[in-house]
Structure 1
Amino acid sequence: MDHAEHGYIERKDDYLRRLRRIEGQARGLQRMVEEEQYCIDILTQVSAMTKALQAVSLGLLEEHMNHCVLQAAHEGDDQGKAKIDEAVQAISRLVRS
């Protein structure tokens, strides 16, 4: 599949901005541990970072369902089923994490 065909491409800048912010949060967590800050404060920041990652994941999943899965369903039952199975596996991994 050509990169321009990915559903998230129209929101690529938004995803990159979010991921850069998450990267900054990870550096902040490292700094907090290096500085031996209070455990609960660190856990609060871990929770915020986890929520940010979940938001990115859910956004990408929504884009995948609305673009890739929908397009595959229009191409035929086999392609649609394969994309749905792929999405179900991705959702399963997200739920377990």
Structure 2
Amino acid sequence: MSEEASPQHGPHGYSGDKAALLSRLRRIEGQIRGLQRMVDEDTYCIDVLTQISAAKSALQAVAVGLLEDHLAHCVVDAARAGDPSTKVKEASDAIARLIKS
């Protein structure tokens, strides 16, 4: 994604931290590949489950960071423009999805 505003959602709050976000996602990708290796090598199931938990926690941390950025940038900008309801609803829906997972 470019730092430009997307026609559908406007500028993204995470744009300034995109390199850090991508770095975290690459580390998570490495964790997932490690899980594949563990299963391929018949690693003890509890060890695999421990690594799954770590990967899930890492993804949740990324999600929380993105949500914080959404609130700090997208919702605040929409409030300044006088109509935060759509952005607040997006945040509420995202929180509901995170809670379910």
Shorter-chain TM-score category?
over 0.9
1:48 to 43, 47, 54: 54
Q: Distance in 2 between matches of 1:15 and 1:64?
A: 14
Show the counterpart of 1:24. Answer: 30
Q: Secondary structure at the match of 1:2?
A: coil
TM-fit CA distance, 1:40: 0.5
1:8-87 equivalent positions in 2, closer than 5 A: 8-76=14-82, 79-87=83-91
Show the counterpart of 2:98. Answer: 94
Q: Which runs of 4+ in 1 moved over 6 A?
A: none
Question: Once the two structures are aligned, what percentage of the paired residues are identical?
Answer: 57
TM-fit CA distance, 1:23: 0.3
The structure where helix makes up a greater share of residues is 1
Q: Distance in 1 between matches of 2:90 and 2:30?
A: 31
Q: What CA deviation, in whole Å up to 9, does each residue of 1:4-27 have, x standing for no partner?
A: 821001110110000000000000
TM-fit CA distance, 1:2: 0.7
**Alignment pair present for 1:2 and 2:5:** yes
When the two structures are superposed, what TM-score results if normalisation uses the length of structure 1? 0.93
Q: Distance in 1 between matches of 2:12 and 2:88?
A: 16
Two-structure CA RMSD over aligned residues (Å) = 1.4
The aligned length equals 95
Q: Distance in 1 between matches of 2:11 and 2:39?
A: 41
Q: Secondary structure at the match of 1:5?
A: coil
When the two structures are superposed, what TM-score results if normalisation uses the length of structure 2? 0.90
Structure 2 gap segments, 5+ residues each: none
